């Protein structure tokens, strides 16, 4: 059976797997795009560019381009900056922009007084030399919000966070691996049937995805176990707490505090989990670094990563034990 003719997954599960190829959300007042493909144009802070990237690598690495963001202080505060940017292959309005984030920056080097235009295109030429996202404040008479560039409904946000990037092929591989992990849950067939698939459809799709995953080299069970994604029995686990994952968590909304319910809540109990956290300098949305974890465990780990989070949790438990609040036994 060809990949495109497989029975469809339950819609909630299909959306969950599809969204793993998208970036996290972003507010309208942020410079980032909201929930778009991880293969979109990336935004690279200038200090990160100088530490981790070179022009030749970046040109080949990012299929939909990149924009280097330079702070006003970094641009105007160094008389040699223009020459340095030229040596690095960077040019304002082509692959770099000055990014205003504070009112002090705006007042010190107002781009409108300099005759600069805000950028509007994510591909070169960018259509301008700067972009601004400055919060409003009532502290002064001149405290109005300043939003310039990439602000229209059809063109909102200049790009994505560079550490969220993955190319289209990597995104597709991660989706296959993540679906295969779902099918390895002990109750996946029953829950799929309970959410709209027929027993035959669920069985056919399960076998096809597991086979595809094997053929792509994405179902190395020992590697998945060592990566905290599967337990010793080969069943999916939350990478942080190591509790076995049930398929039910893919379809059940997270519990909400009484009196604080949100009617349109779409967050399920299980969500995408990066074993090695997303961080500057590496691209960690990749096969064998993705798994399924509890939503609340994801919230706890945040961007700190599993190791640092576990150390923090151990310290919290030890302090509570020493204070006589909880007993800790081996």
Does 152 lie in the same domain as 250?
Answer: no
* pLDDT tens-digit map of 176-195: 999 999 999 999 999 999 99
Domain annotation covers residue 324: no
| Residue 205: both structure tokens together | 């799709």
From residue 19, alpha-carbon distances to 46, 178, 238, 281 in Å are 29, 11, 19, 23
| H or E element in which residue 133 lies | strand 130-134
Q: Helix, strand, or coil here: 223?
A: helix
Q: Of 164, 199, 216, which residue is a domain's last?
A: 164
Does 150 lie in the same domain as 135?
Answer: yes
Does 256 lie in the same domain as 157?
Answer: no
Q: Are strands 66-70 and 96-100 parallel, antiparallel or unpaired?
A: parallel
Spatial distance between the Cα atoms of 61 and 40, rounded to a whole number of angstroms: 12
| Residue 24: both structure tokens together | 């996290």
134 strand-pairing partners: 146
Cβ neighbours, 10 Å, residue 215: 10
Full residue range of the structural domain in which residue 104 is found: 26-164
pLDDT at 330 (0 to 100): 60
Domain annotation covers residue 18: no
Domain annotation covers residue 198: yes
From residue 224, alpha-carbon distances to 183, 211, 242, 244 in Å are 14, 16, 13, 14
Burial (CB count <10 Å: 0-12, 13-18, 19+), residue 49:
buried
Does 70 lie in the same domain as 121?
Answer: yes
* pLDDT tens-digit map of 151-160: 998 899 999 9
Does 109 lie in the same domain as 187?
Answer: no
pLDDT at 327 (0 to 100): 87
Q: Of 98, 131, 164, which residue is a domain's last?
A: 164
Spatial distance between the Cα atoms of 201 and 67, rounded to a whole number of angstroms: 45
| Residue 46: both structure tokens together | 């200038």
Number of domains within the chain: 2
Give all strands of the β-sheet with 146-148 in edge-to-edge order: 146-148, 130-134, 96-100, 66-70, 42-45, 160-161
Domain annotation covers residue 17: no
Spatial distance between the Cα atoms of 88 and 25, rounded to a whole number of angstroms: 31
Spatial distance between the Cα atoms of 243 and 227, rounded to a whole number of angstroms: 14
Does 189 lie in the same domain as 158?
Answer: no
Domain annotation covers residue 227: yes
Q: Residues near 79 by Cβ (< 8 Å), separated by ≥ 6?
A: none
pLDDT at 309 (0 to 100): 97
Question: Which residue positions in the chain have pLDDT lower than 50?
Answer: 1-2, 254, 256-265
Domain annotation covers residue 12: no
pLDDT at 294 (0 to 100): 94
């Amino acid at each position: 059976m060809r990949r495109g003719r497989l029975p469809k997954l339950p819609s909630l599960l299909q959306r969950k797997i599809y969204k793993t190829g998208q970036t996290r959300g972003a507010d309208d007042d942020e410079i980032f795009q909201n929930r778009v493909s991880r293969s979109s144009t990336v935004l690279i802070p200038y200090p990160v560019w100088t530490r981790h990237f070179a022009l030749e690598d970046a040109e080949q690495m990012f299929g939909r381009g990149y924009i280097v963001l330079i702070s006003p202080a970094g641009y105007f505060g160094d008389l040699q900056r223009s020459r340095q940017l030229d040596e690095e292959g960077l040019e304002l309005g082509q692959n770099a922009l000055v990014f205003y984030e504070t009112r002090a920056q705006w007042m010190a080097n107002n781009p409108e007084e300099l005759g600069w235009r805000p950028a509007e295109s994510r591909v070169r030429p960018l259509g301008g030399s700067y972009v601004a996202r400055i919060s409003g404040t009532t502290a002064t008479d001149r405290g109005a919000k300043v939003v310039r560039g990439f602000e229209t409904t059809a063109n909102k946000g200049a790009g994505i966070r560079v550490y969220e990037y993955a190319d289209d092929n990597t995104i597709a591989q991660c989706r296959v691996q993540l679906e295969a992990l779902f099918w390895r849950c002990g109750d996946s067939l029953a829950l799929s049937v309970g959410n709209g698939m027929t027993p035959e459809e669920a069985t056919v799709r399960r076998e096809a995805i597991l086979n595809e995953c094997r053929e792509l080299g994405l179902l190395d069970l020992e590697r998945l176990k060592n990566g905290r994604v599967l337990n010793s029995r080969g069943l999916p686990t939350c990478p942080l707490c190591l509790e076995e994952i049930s398929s039910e968590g893919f379809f059940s909304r997270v519990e909400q505090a009484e009196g604080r319910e949100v009617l349109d809540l779409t967050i399920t109990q299980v969500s995408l989990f990066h074993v090695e956290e997303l961080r500057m300098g590496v691209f960690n949305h990749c096969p064998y670094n993705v798994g399924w974890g509890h939503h609340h465990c994801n919230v706890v780990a945040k961007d700190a990563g599993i190791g640092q989070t576990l150390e923090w949790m151990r310290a919290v438990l030890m302090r509570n034990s020493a204070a006589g609040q909880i007993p800790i036994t081996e």
